[in-house]
Amino acid sequence: MQLIIIVTMVTMMGGSVISPALPVIQQAFIIETSKIGLLMTAFSLPGIISIPIAGIMTDRFGRQKVIVPMLLLYSIAGSLCFFAPNFEVLLLLRFLSGLGAGALATLSLILIGDLFNDKEQKEALGYRTSFGYFSNGILPIFGGFLAVISWNYPFLLFLLGIPISLMAMAVLVNEKIDNQSTIKEYLIEVWRGLSNVRTASLLTIAPTLMMINQGILATFLPIYIGSKFGVSAAIIGIIISTRVIAGSLIAFFMGKLTEIVKEEWLLISSMIVLAITIIFIPFVTSVWFMIGPVMVMGFALGVSFPAFQSLLISEAPKELRAGVMSANGVTNRMGQAAGPIIAGTLYATGGFKAVFFGASLFLLAMIIFLTINFRNHISTR
């Protein structure tokens, strides 16, 4: 469990540590506001490629032989961004780093599904989310202060992944794998897992949450704060960190919460709170008052992510879990990649208000869709 938490903490910083530095990077390379989100998309998009490949490789060669190289790729490419001479090279290095990050996020979920059952599994998912959020809460502060020195200094934090890869090499057993299924058979297995209507509905949640998290909160919220209030990257980092710290605190108690309320109800309720809170962002008049809605959004995401992950893992049979979780990882990355692009389009159409109001309307549509699909499951225990 310790290794899962550490890998999660390191890889989840790929977006959050850069988030407060976006305004500085934008100024350094003279990038239009509508296009700065490409820096996040370039990191998220390659997961669509690496996640299914990593799933096949894990089944064939074992966890250690996949996790260690992916950690090294993530860390080395991420830290090389420090030396990027232009925005195009920076995007390329972010793409390479994202290849490793996407696979690692899914592999940690697969490990939890394999190692824990029932209540322990829900607690493990909560701990994973909690410590991931804690990492995302602390690292933006460092990233913001480092960005004050120069736009490229936050990328040095990616070097943390190198010693973690050595730890994974020592801790993970290089297990013997008997699975000799072909790629075609593997894909058929994945399709079997996705053919369930409820599973298919659950797979819409990850891209929904990630479009909001990456497109709105990680990309355009820091740009909005910098533009409206004229504060430094360090201040932006502090404010953004309150979101993930709040998420970390609530996610830590997910095991207790699920004993009281079913995951379906926790998920729907948290999405409603998220949609309402986003609407109020343009009406905040002080930079420090922004901490309030940012923390509320953190609480909502801290509940929604582990709630839906628990539902998905429980829905997938063990023999199909790797395939289903890989599909979830792909949809997750699709949401991460699409979020900044869609938000950028909304910004180009109607400015920041279009971004925030559009996000709320999208969440409302998804809440209605999920409520209809969960109507036979939403109830308190």
Cα four-point dihedral sign 34, 35, 39, 40: positive
**Over 90: is that where the pLDDT of 354 sits?**
yes
Mean pLDDT within 207-221: 87
Q: What is the CATH number of domain 2-174+181-373?
A: 1.20.1250.20
pLDDT at 178: 56
Q: Would you place residue 136 in the very low, low, confident or very high pLDDT band (cuts 50, 70, 90)?
A: low
> What angle (nearest 5°) sits at the alpha carbon of residue 329, between those of residues 160 and 105?
20
DSSP 14-62: HHHTTGGGHHHHHHHHT--GGGTTHHHHHHHTTHHHHHHHHHHHHHHH-
Per-residue pLDDT reduced to its tens digit, 86-107 = 999 999 999 999 998 877 877 7
Phi and psi at 189, nearest 5°, equal -65, -45
CA distance 142 to 160: 13
pLDDT at 376: 63
**Over 80: is that where the pLDDT of 73 sits?**
yes
Residue-wise over 268-299: b if at least 16 C-beta within 10 A, else e?
A: bbbbebbbebbbebeebeebeebbebbbbbbb
Mean pLDDT within 12-20: 77
Q: Given its phi and psi angles, is residue 223 left (phi above 0), alpha (psi -120 to 50 degrees) or beta?
A: alpha
Percent of the chain with pLDDT over 90: 30
CA distance 62 to 289: 49
Q: Would you place residue 1 in the very low, low, confident or very high pLDDT band (cuts 50, 70, 90)?
A: low
| Domain positions in the chain | 2-174+181-373
Cα four-point dihedral sign 21, 352, 284, 130: negative
Residues in the chain: 381
Q: Which residue has the higher pLDDT, 379 or 253?
A: 253
Tokens encoding 299? 């609480």
Residue 53 vs residues 102, 137, 171, 182, 300: alpha-carbon distances, Å? 11, 30, 23, 13, 32
Per-residue pLDDT reduced to its tens digit, 165-195 = 888 787 766 555 555 566 676 667 667 667 7
Tokens encoding 197? 């209507």
CA distance 266 to 254: 10
Mean pLDDT within 209-237: 87
Amino acid at residue number 232: S
- Under DSSP, the state recorded for 116 is -
Q: Would you place residue 114 in the very low, low, confident or very high pLDDT band (cuts 50, 70, 90)?
A: low
51 and 329 in contact (C-beta within 8 Å)? Answer: yes
**Over 80: is that where the pLDDT of 370 sits?**
yes
Residue-wise over 39-59: b if at least 16 C-beta within 10 A, else e?
A: bbbbbbbbbbbbbbebbbbbb
